[in-house]
Amino acid sequence: MDNEILRALRERRSCRSYKPEQITDDELETVLEAGTWAPTAKGLQDPWIVAVQNPELLKKISRMNAAVWGRDIDPFYGAPTYVLVFGSDPAVWANSVPDGSLVLGNMMNAAHAIGLGSCWINREREMFATDEGKALMQELGLPEGLIGIGALSLGYPAAPPRDPKPRKENYWRVVK
């Protein structure tokens, strides 16, 4: 079987090099809305999505992420937009991280579908567990008790995507 959606799922790749131009508001809204349509346990819509395009805030978030990683680089690869996803503490809502992960996945697929590049960025849980991270969450108007789940770098790709790696043998099984 094959169709447009299945082809897009096979073709999407992480983007690690972006053009400096900012994406349009319509493109950003399309990606963010796709995140809101991700399935969530019990339909609770627990995740919180925050898009950041302010240059000073982008620098701050990049610095915070790099500090957690212990590297002096831009972990967001020069993207002009970051999308942060938060959720309830898993001690309060056990499905918080899976729900937020599905939101991030939906947004990556939507970005690809409209010609944008994206890459999942890790270390948000550690970043937003710091005093600086908690203060930033408050500045962003988020409720207390959330954790960082993940983030996306988002923008126009500066280079064509890499070829996909071959899928490993015996990746899936069917038991009847």
- Cβ distance 107 to 31 under 8 Å? yes
Positions of the chain with pLDDT under 50:
none
- What local confidence, expressed as pLDDT, does residue 161 receive? 87
Backbone angles phi, psi at 74, to 5 degrees: -95, 105
pLDDT digits 0-9 by tens, 65-111: 999 999 999 999 999 999 999 999 999 999 999 999 999 999 999 99
Domains and CATH numbers, the chain: 28-155 (3.40.109.10)
Q: Which two tokens stand for residue 108?
A: 């990556």
Cite the beta strand spans of the chain per DSSP E: 48-52, 81-88, 117-121, 146-155
> Model-level pTM?
0.95
SS (H, E, C) 22-72: CCCHHHHHHHHHHHHCCCCHHHCCCCEEEEECCHHHHHHHHHHHHHHHCCC
- What local confidence, expressed as pLDDT, does residue 115 receive? 96
